[in-house]
């Protein structure tokens, strides 16, 4: 699938990054082959049944509505198969189906890591599911790398402009623009991209929204005019070698204080077309310390591997641009759907509850398995189911439900064996009626102080406080 970077020719940062962002405001991508993953989860007490349906498709057959299946990658298929029991992966035409039951740790079949926890008590049960799919959650490290890259790109642009225009009238204005505005705008581009990526994992079309937002930002800061969008779009998709350089010339002239009604200064002739622009940029980059360092590394590597390719001056700039951001902000290559079956709506989740299916649903695009520059997609849900017969027998009704029941299940599964046995014996001996609250007030674990007087008031302290508080609140 062609992305914006491969459609943009030329070597200088102005020529590559600026038109790329401007055209992104209007560009709509078409389909391409991708992997589809459908994860179905059914809690079965202490284990959870996982069924993964996966395939490679290139769109849908308009006549049958069936995906146009393509060959699924052998390495990907092997990695998934290894995570399931023998014979757990079957092939149904172009679709593969993997089935297995798991406790606690979930398989990294799609890529990532997940967990399922189940907590049973006499009063009910609670479950917790959370899973990260692919991506990189080192936000601080990636943000720092992007901002450092923005600084490197800006410094290179300043050095190049100094070489070509340092003696021209108005250069001080251009340099100030590059050092302050352009540097800031590159960092804002990275920040907008991150915001769009984060929002895109939970909101449809959020990535497109942030492209529009940054397009608005560029327009407000004078990088383009809205009436230029059709021409800029055409120039990018058709690789027009004239229109984009002309727009860059005018932008640079404006930043040097040249009125738009005046001709472009002759000193900007090096920006007249792609060839002269590349030649000028390469001439500057070939003299930088960064390029000399790359040459030194190449000479060293060549001794061990004679066919090592000599680095191009442009590689210095490409390295700096590589960490700035990824510009495939309209979508990611693979698609994921997760379906968690529950008896009732979850207590907490970032998914959507489908009452008809009795499922929590998540759907999203996800980056390829090896991509380490995007945020991950995360699913989570928690739920609780009361043991109604037991509660009615000992409390007279189903009192403990919802979040309090989930909290109770966590507490009960976290106490030591002695306290757990004492508590279960106590609960099993309770009966509905007028004495119920009095018995709760009187309960203490062995060795636990009875009461503590504070300002004339009796205050209960110790390990019984929390569970008694949950029950008394529910019963009251």
Q: Are residues 419 and 325 in the same domain?
A: no
Domain boundaries, position 144: 1-386
- The answer to whether residues 445 and 382 belong to one domain is no
Confidence of residue 199 (pLDDT cuts 50, 70, 90): low
Q: Are residues 470 and 400 in the same domain?
A: yes
d(CA 235, CA 248): 13
Ranges 65-79, 131-145, 316-330: which has the least confidence: 316-330
Confidence check: pLDDT of 19 > 60: no
* Domain count across the chain: 2
Q: Is the same domain home to 367 and 440?
A: no
Clarify whether residues 369 and 435 are in a common domain.
no
Q: What's the pLDDT score for residue 369?
A: 81
Distance CA 208, CA 294 (A): 37
Local structure of 165: helix, strand or coil: helix
Contact assessment for residue 324 and residue 186, using Cβ atoms and an 8 Å cutoff? yes
Averaged over 76-102, what is the pLDDT? Answer: 93
Domain boundary among 318, 353, 386: 386
Determine the pLDDT at residue 205: 56
Q: At what angle do helices 289-304 and 314-322 cross, to 10 degrees?
A: 100
Angstrom distance (rounded) from CA 179 to CA 27: 30
Q: How far apart are CA 86 and CA 90, in angstroms?
A: 10
Q: 434 and 333 in one domain?
A: no
Question: Could you tell me which residues are beta bridge partners of residue 353?
Answer: 360
Please indicate, yes or no, whether residues 440 and 454 belong to a single structural domain of this protein.
Answer: yes
Q: Are residues 128 and 174 in the same domain?
A: yes
Tell me the pLDDT tens digit for each residue of 346-399.
Answer: 999 999 999 999 999 999 888 788 766 677 889 999 999 999 999 999 999 999
Q: Within a 10 A sphere around the Cβ of 357, how many other Cβ atoms?
A: 10
User: Is the pLDDT higher at 371 or at 120?
Assistant: 120
Task: Indicate the SS3 state at residue 281.
Answer: helix
Greatest mean pLDDT among 234-243, 450-459, 464-473 lies in: 464-473
* Same-domain check for residues 367 and 333: yes
Together in a domain, 325 and 404: no
Which residue, among 400, 410, 353, has the nearest Cα to 381 in the 3D structure? 353
CA 201 to CA 378: how far, in whole Å?
A: 8
Q: What is the pLDDT of residues 174-183, one digit of tens each?
A: 999 999 999 9
Task: Give the pLDDT band of residue 273 (cuts 50, 70, 90).
Answer: confident
* 382 and 432, same domain (yes or no): no
**Average pLDDT, stretch 15-30?**
40
Asked whether the beta carbons of 200 and 193 are under 8 A apart, the reply is: no
* Cα 386 to Cα 390: distance, rounded to the nearest angstrom: 9
Q: 331, 352, 386 — which closes off a domain? A: 386
> What does the alpha-carbon distance between residue 244 and residue 246 come to, in Å, rounded to a whole number?
5
| Shared domain check, 108 and 91 | yes
Among residues 317, 351, 386, the one where a domain terminates is: 386
369: number of Cβ within 10 Å: 17
**CA distances, 462 to each of 246, 409, 446, 450 (Å):** 77, 19, 11, 9
**Model confidence band, residue 473 (pLDDT cutoffs 50, 70, 90):** very high
Please say if the pLDDT value at position 146 is more than 80: yes
CA 146-151-154 angle, 5° bins: 125
């Amino acid at each position: 699938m062609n992305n914006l970077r491969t459609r943009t020719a030329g070597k200088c940062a102005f020529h590559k990054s600026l038109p790329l962002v401007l055209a992104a405001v209007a560009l709509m991508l078409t389909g391409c082959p991708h992997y589809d993953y459908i994860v179905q989860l059914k809690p079965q007490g202490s284990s959870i049944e996982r069924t993964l349906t996966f395939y490679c498709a290139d769109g849908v057959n308009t006549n049958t509505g069936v995906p146009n299946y393509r060959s699924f990658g052998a390495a990907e298929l092997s990695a998934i198969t290894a995570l399931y029991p023998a014979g757990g992966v079957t092939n149904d035409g172009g679709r593969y189906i993997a089935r297995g039951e798991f406790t606690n740790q979930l398989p990294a079949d799609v890529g990532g890591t997940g967990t399922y926890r189940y907590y049973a008590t006499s009063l009910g049960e609670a479950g917790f599911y959370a899973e990260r799919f692919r991506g990189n959650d080192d936000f601080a490290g990636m943000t720092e790398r992007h901002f450092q890259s923005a600084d490197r790109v800006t410094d290179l642009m300043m050095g190049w402009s100094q070489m070509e225009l340092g003696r021209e009238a108005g250069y001080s204005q251009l340099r100030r623009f590059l050092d302050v505005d352009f540097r800031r705008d590159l960092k804002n581009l990275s920040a907008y991209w991150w915001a769009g990526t984060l929002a895109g994992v939970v909101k449809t079309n959020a990535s497109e929204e942030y492209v529009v937002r940054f397009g608005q930002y560029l327009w407000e800061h004078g990088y383009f005019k809205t009436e230029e969008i059709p021409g800029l779009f055409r120039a990018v998709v058709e690789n027009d070698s004239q229109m984009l350089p002309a727009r860059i010339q005018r932008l640079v002239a404006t930043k040097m204080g040249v009125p738009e009604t005046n001709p472009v200064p002759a000193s900007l002739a090096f920006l007249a077309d792609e060839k002269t622009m590349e030649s000028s940029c390469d001439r500057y980059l070939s003299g930088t310390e960064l390029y000399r360092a790359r040459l030194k590394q190449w000479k060293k590597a060549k001794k061990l591997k004679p066919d090592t390719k000599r680095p191009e001056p442009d590689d210095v700039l490409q390295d700096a641009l590589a960490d700035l951001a990824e510009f495939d902000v309209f979508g990611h290559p693979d698609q994921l759907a997760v379906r968690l079956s529950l008896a009732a709506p979850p207590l907490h989740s970032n998914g959507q509850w489908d009452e008809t299916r009795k499922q929590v649903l998540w759907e999203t695009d996800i980056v390829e398995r090896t991509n380490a520059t995007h945020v991950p997609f995360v699913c989570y849900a928690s739920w609780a189911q009361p043991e109604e017969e037991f509660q009615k027998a000992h409390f007279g009704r189903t009192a403990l439900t919802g979040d309090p029941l989930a909290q109770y299940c966590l507490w009960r599964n976290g106490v030591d064996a002695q306290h757990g046995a004492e508590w279960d014996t106590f609960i099993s001996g309770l009966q509905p009626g007028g004495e119920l609250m009095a018995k709760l007030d009187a309960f203490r674990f062995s060795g636990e102080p009875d009461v503590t007087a504070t300002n004339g008031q009796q205050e209960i302290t110790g390990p019984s406080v929390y569970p008694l508080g949950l029950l008394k609140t529910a019963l009251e």
